[in-house]
A and B are shown apart, each in its own frame.
Chain A
Amino acid sequence: MRSEEIKVCVLRIEGTNCEDEMYQAFRELGASPEKVHLKQLLGKCPADMKRELDDYNILALPGGFSAGDYVRAGAIFAARIKSELSKDIRSFVESERPVLGVCNGFQILVELGLLPAFEGTMSEHPEAALYTNISGRFECTPTILKHESRGKCIFTKRIEKGRMMLVPCAHAEGKLMFAKEKEEKLLAKLEENDQIVFRYVDEDGEYAGYPWCPNGSLSNIAGICNPAGNVMGMMPHPERVVHRYTHPDFTRTAADVNGAGDGKAIFESVIESVKRKA
Chain B
Amino acid sequence: MVVAEIRIELKQGVADPEGQNTKKALELLGFKGIKNVKSIKVFDIELDADAAEAKKAGEEMCRKLLANPVIQKFSVQIK
Contacts and interface: CB of A to CB of B under 8 A. Distances in A.
Nearest to B41: A71
A85 interface: no
Report the interface size class on chain B. 10 to 19
A83 B64 contact: yes
Residues of A in contact with B, size category: 20 to 34
B36 to A, nearest CB: 15
Contacts of A129: 68, 70-71
Nearest to A125: B69
Given A132-B17, A134-B17, A136-B18, A179 B65 contact: no
Interface in B42-70: 63-66, 68-70
Given A132-B17, A133-B17, A111 B11 contact: no
B21 A136 contact: yes
Nearest to B69: A125
Nearest to A82: B64
B68 to A, nearest CB: 5
A129 B69 CA distance: 9
Given A72-B68, A79-B64, A127-B70, A136 B17 contact: yes
Interface in A116-166: 125-129, 131-136
A128 B70 contact: yes
A178 interface: yes
A125 B15 contact: no
Contact of B70 (A75, A79, A132, A179): A179
Given A133-B17, A136-B20, A178 B70 contact: yes
